[in-house]
Amino acid sequence: MEGEETEEATNIVLGILLVNHQYACILFDSGATHSFVNSEFVKKLASKPDVVDIQLYVTTPLGTIYHTDLIIRDWAINVKRKTIPADLAQLEMQGWDTILGMDWSAKHKVIIGCENKIITFSTPEGERMEFRGNGYQKTMPTISAMQAFKMLRKEC
């Protein structure tokens, strides 16, 4: 999904979280069947994806078709000092570092509160947690170092 394709979407929540110890712009998207990671973000972390036997074809709402056979397994998504693993298909996408779709959402029993932009999910240990997202932003979110420090202190 490209950044401009989410302009009218109400079934998504956007947030900034640590993914493998690197801040990432994450899209929680109940309209996505799978979870994805941006190829450039993978390169930044110097990670090596696994090649799988099956090609995954992805069609965006605007009709763009992507395909991949690369999977990043067990990436650590950190929320309030808890680690939630994710298997992510690597795609040449723009606008987001990571998209968490229905595969991740079903595994972690996610509830998306669209009105208040709260994601409720289960950790691997079964603990229920909440994450307050930002909703949709037309431009890529930018925060200052001071804002990031304050968010970390609040465990955002």
Residues in the chain: 156
Instruction: State pTM to two decimals.
Output: 0.76
Residue appearing with tokens 């929320």:
79
| Number of independent structural domains in the chain | 1
**Predicted pLDDT at 153:** 63
Question: What's the CATH number where 37 sits?
Answer: 2.40.70.10
Q: What was the pLDDT predicted at 66?
A: 86
Lowest average pLDDT, out of 49-53, 86-90, 103-107, 140-144, goes to: 140-144
Nearest to 72 by CA among 42, 27, 95: 42
Render pLDDT for 72-98 as a digit per residue (tens, 0 to 9): 999 999 988 899 999 999 998 888 899
- For the chain, give the percent of residues with pLDDT over 70: 79
DSSP-H helix ranges across 3-113:
39-44, 102-107
For the cut 80, the answer to whether the pLDDT of residue 148 exceeds it is no
User: Is pLDDT at 142 greater than 70 in this prediction?
Assistant: no
For residue 146, the surrounding DSSP H or E stretch is helix 145-153
The pLDDT-based confidence of 147 (bands split at 50, 70, 90) is: low
Residue span of the structural domain in which 63 resides: 3-153
pLDDT at 1: 46
